[in-house]
């Protein structure tokens, strides 16, 4: 008997881009997918963190902590940046506490594979693992840490943070993938999310798939709102949303960072 397969949508790094989030949620709904897991970074970079939080609290079954969600509303941190102060001021009462209380990771089972989702790395939301990593970094992504807890070691790990999607597998069937970003996608600026499909909550071997979906949206409308709201770093935001160029690279005139790193050792 063929197992019943279900689909779960994974979104990440919305970063206050409500226009992109609404387009992605519309696509998810049109596919009949009702379960949505969010891998963090609801706020910062874009102008509508407050609204993005409200939508994700309503629509997402799972919400995970991101690095912006941790540091931006930190009551023990003083900002000397007008930009950070502006993004923080967009949050409504209680939203900062909600963000910082989010779980670090989420574990579940699909088609006999133990899946773990977190924002950036298994140790902290503030450590970045790019697609051109070394083998040791790959293997570390599957380990238990004080942050993830001592549950069964995952065989599939999904994360966000770097805003560039990819998929990688080794001979032990360990599978690592990055969801990319809904609201601040780099290189190709088109919002991207992931669909997991398989026999959810089953340890029996069954078909399993990871699908990346790109969703076009009205970038002009998003930028018009950001400009009218007086959002800081608008030129950098426009470079990211129109051209997929990281704002620091845009400001410096440098070649995008993704093309400057040396290839990882084999």
Question: SS in 3 state form for the chain?
Answer: CCCCCEEEEEECCCCCCHHHHHHHHHHHHHCCCCEEEECCCCCCCCCCHHHHHHHHHHHCCEECCCHHHHHCCCCCCCCCCHHHHHHHHCCCCCHHHHHHCCCCEEEEEECCEEEEEECCCCCCCCCCCCCCCCHHHHHHCCCCCCCCCCCCCCCEEEECCCCCCEEEECCCCCEEEECCCCCCCCCCCCCEEEEEEECECCCCCCCCEEEEEECCCCHHHHHHHHHHCCCCCHHHHHHHHHHCCCHHHHHHCCCCHHHCCCCCCC
Q: Mean of the pLDDT values across residues 70-84?
A: 91
pLDDT of residue 77: 84
pTM (predicted TM-score):
0.93
In this predicted structure, the answer to whether residue 261 has a pLDDT above a threshold of 90 is: no
Least confident of 2-11, 40-49, 56-65, 177-186: 2-11
Domain boundaries, the chain: 6-106+180-259
Q: What percent of the chain has pLDDT over 70?
A: 93
Superfamily of domain 6-106+180-259: Metallo-dependent phosphatases (3.60.21.10)
Q: How confident is the model at residue 265 (pLDDT cuts 50, 70, 90)?
A: very low
Read off the pLDDT of residues 118-174 as tens digits, 9 standing for 90 and up.
999 999 999 999 998 889 999 999 999 999 999 999 999 999 999 999 999 999 999
Q: Which of 127-131, 253-257, 259-263 has the lowest mean pLDDT?
A: 259-263
Q: Is pLDDT larger for residue 134 or for residue 96?
A: 96
């Amino acid at each position: 008997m063929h197992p019943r397969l279900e689909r779960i949508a994974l979104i990440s790094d919305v970063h206050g881009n409500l226009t992109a989030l609404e387009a992605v949620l519309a696509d998810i709904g049109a596919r009949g997918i009702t379960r949505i897991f969010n891998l963090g970074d609801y706020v910062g970079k874009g102008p509508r963190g407050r609204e993005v939080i409200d939508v994700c609290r309503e629509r997402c079954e799972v919400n995970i902590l991101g690095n912006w969600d941790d540091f931006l509303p930190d009551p023990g941190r003083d900002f000397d940046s007008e930009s950070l102060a502006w993004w923080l001021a967009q949050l409504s009462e209680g939203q900062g506490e909600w963000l910082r209380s989010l779980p670090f990771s989420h574990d579940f089972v699909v088609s006999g594979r133990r899946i773990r989702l977190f924002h950036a790395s298994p140790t902290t939301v503030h450590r970045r693992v790019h697609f051109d990593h070394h083998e040791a970094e790959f293997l570390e992504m599957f380990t238990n840490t004080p942050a993830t807890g001592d549950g069964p070691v995952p065989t599939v790990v999904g994360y966000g943070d770097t805003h560039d999607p990819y998929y990688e597998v080794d001979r032990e069937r360990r599978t690592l993938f990055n969801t990319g970003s809904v609201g601040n996608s780099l290189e190709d600026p088109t919002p991207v999310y992931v669909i997991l499909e398989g026999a959810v909550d089953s340890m029996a071997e069954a078909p399993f798939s990871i699908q990346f979906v790109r969703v076009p949206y009205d970038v002009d409308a998003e930028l018009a709102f950001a400009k009218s709201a007086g959002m800081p770093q608008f030129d950098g935001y426009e470079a990211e949303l129109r051209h997929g160029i990281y704002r620091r690279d845009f400001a410096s005139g440098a070649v995008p960072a993704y093309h400057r790193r040396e290839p990882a050792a084999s």
